[in-house]
Every structure is written in structure tokens, then in C-alpha cells.
Amino acid sequence: MSTQPQPANDAPVSASAESPLSTADVVILENQGDNTDFDPASPGRFVNRELSWLAFNRRVIEEAQNRRHPVFERVRFLSISASNLDEFYMVRVAGLMGMVHAGVSTPSADGLTPAEQLAKVDQTARQLIADQQRIWAGLDSELRGEGVSVVTGGEINDRDRDYLGAQFAEQIFPVLTPLAIDPAHPFPFIPNLGFTIALSLTNRRDGKAHSALIPVPPQLRRFMRLPDTDKRVRFIPLEEVIALYFDKLFPGHTINGWGMFRILRDSDVEVEEEAEDLVLLFETLLK
């Protein structure tokens, strides 16, 4: 982490064009508070490891805002920040949650218990995710200015619909498996990083409301390229394509609303070599 001498008048540290400190550095320094205790073991002299990692990912997000990079490189940085956050939750946050569930309350070197760390991680990560969405909105606008756009179902024309209809029938529809969610059909297992569409439906015949899921197979491309128009390159997200043909997946139903979610699971699996029943151990770990 880069450093800067503290002003004599104790003015707050801030990031600027002339300062070697990034916003991530400032966040770490502010989290340390007024450190007047020079005891080497004092919690005030330590930076929390999880919050420090989130500050690092903040630096990656800041590169997505750096206009000295080409716009596609900035999109790449934004994508990297998202995959970094996934890995952080699957390993580091999963470990914290395991300690909380086990009743561990011993504070770390910085003085925070696992529960307190989780609360601070949640607050910081929510702000990171909000910033990712805000930055993507700006990058999307810049990409459109360069002739590259990510469109929604409401932005396509009849020619696009004909093209997507053929693609859906040949490549997408055969691999989709809609699942009903009710007392007779319990919530299915969703794999780690599994991308799933959730829907609220009404049966037009009897008026009953239903919930359903559409697990999206990982072998399908996340974006589909549409036929170019006026030298413009256009892509449409896979979920927008599927949404165009909900009537083929749920005939006789009205779609009240739909959305998407992913599942992040604990990937930090430790296997005890002395375990008496490895099958039972793996079943427990998977749960």
C-alpha cells in the first residue's frame, strides 16, 4: 500500500489526482481510525484481512473507470472485479460464516469477531456491487457510442426475432428444463455459480398462481450476437432471449414477473484423511 506523510494540521487524508493514494488506500486508512496506541499488539495497528481484500478489489474497479484504458479493457477490468468477488465469497466469506455457525467469537488481530467482520464485509461488498452496476451503465453508453451495444428484448426488430426464433428452437429450447416449485416439487439443487431464471406464473385455466425455475446450462453462451445493422455490432443476453419465448416453455400460463439469481457455495473443502466414512464426509461437505 502506498503511503503519504500526514499533514501537520491533522487534515484528513483524501485521494486526488496529485496524491499517490487510491480510494482503496483511503478506505483502509479511515478504517484504522485514530491510532494513538503504539502497542505492537494493539488491534488499532492492524487492518482486517477481508476488508483489505475488498479494498484491493476496489482498485480493480477503479481501473474500469480509468479513461486512459480503451473501453473494452475497462469492461474487462469490471468483469475481473466481479469474478474476484465471487471467489472471495466462496472462500473467505464462507470461512467466516463457518466460524459464526460454529459459535466462534474470538476476535482477529484487528479486534473484530467473525460476526462483526461479516457485517462489515456485507456493507462494503454491497457498495462495491452498486458501483459495479453504476460503472457498467456508463460503459454501456460508451460502447454504444463506438457501435457496440448490449440490447434487451424491447430493442430488437422483426428480423432479429426471426433469427432468435431459429436459434432458440435449435440450440436453447432442447437443453432447458423448466421446474415447478410447490409442495409436491421441492426446491431443486442449484450447482455452484449456477445461473437460474425464477418466474411467477398464473395458470389461465384455473387462475392458480405458481412459481417456477429455469436452470440455464453452463454450455450456453451468456450473450448471443445479433445480425449486424448499419455496421453496428449488437449482443443480447441469454436470459432476454429465453424471456422472449416463455410461452413455449409454459404454455397456458401468464407470466407475472421474472428475474435471475446465482448460487455461490463454499468451495474451501478440507478433507480429513483420518475420516472413518469418506462417503458420509463428502455428503456433509456438499450439503
Q: Is 15 helix (H, G, I), strand (E, B) or coil?
A: coil
pLDDT tens-place string over residues 241-250: 999 999 999 9
Give the span between the Cα atoms of 128 and 134, in whole angstroms. 10
Say how far apart CA 179 and CA 198 lie, in whole Å. 10
Cell triple for residue 221?
453462451
pLDDT digit string, tens, across residues 38-83:
677 677 788 899 999 999 999 999 999 999 999 999 999 999 999 9
CA angle (89 as vertex; 79, 60 as ends), nearest 5: 35
Using the structure block, give the residue that is written with the C-alpha cell 429455469.
Answer: 214
Of 141-150, 168-177, 259-268, least confident by mean pLDDT is 259-268
Encode pLDDT of 208-249 as tens digits: 998 999 999 989 999 999 998 888 999 999 999 999 999 999
CB 124 within 8 A of CB 132: no
pLDDT at 197: 96
pLDDT digits over 103-149, tens only?
999 998 889 999 999 999 999 999 999 999 999 999 999 999 999 99
Residue 260: DSSP 8-state: E
Q: Which residue has the higher pLDDT, 34 or 22?
A: 22
Give the three cell numbers for residue 206: 384455473
Give the three-state DSSP class for 251. coil
Instruction: Kindly state the DSSP code that residue 37 receives in the 8-state scheme.
Output: -
What mean pLDDT do residues 10-19 have? 40
Output the nine-digit C-alpha cell for 196. 437460474
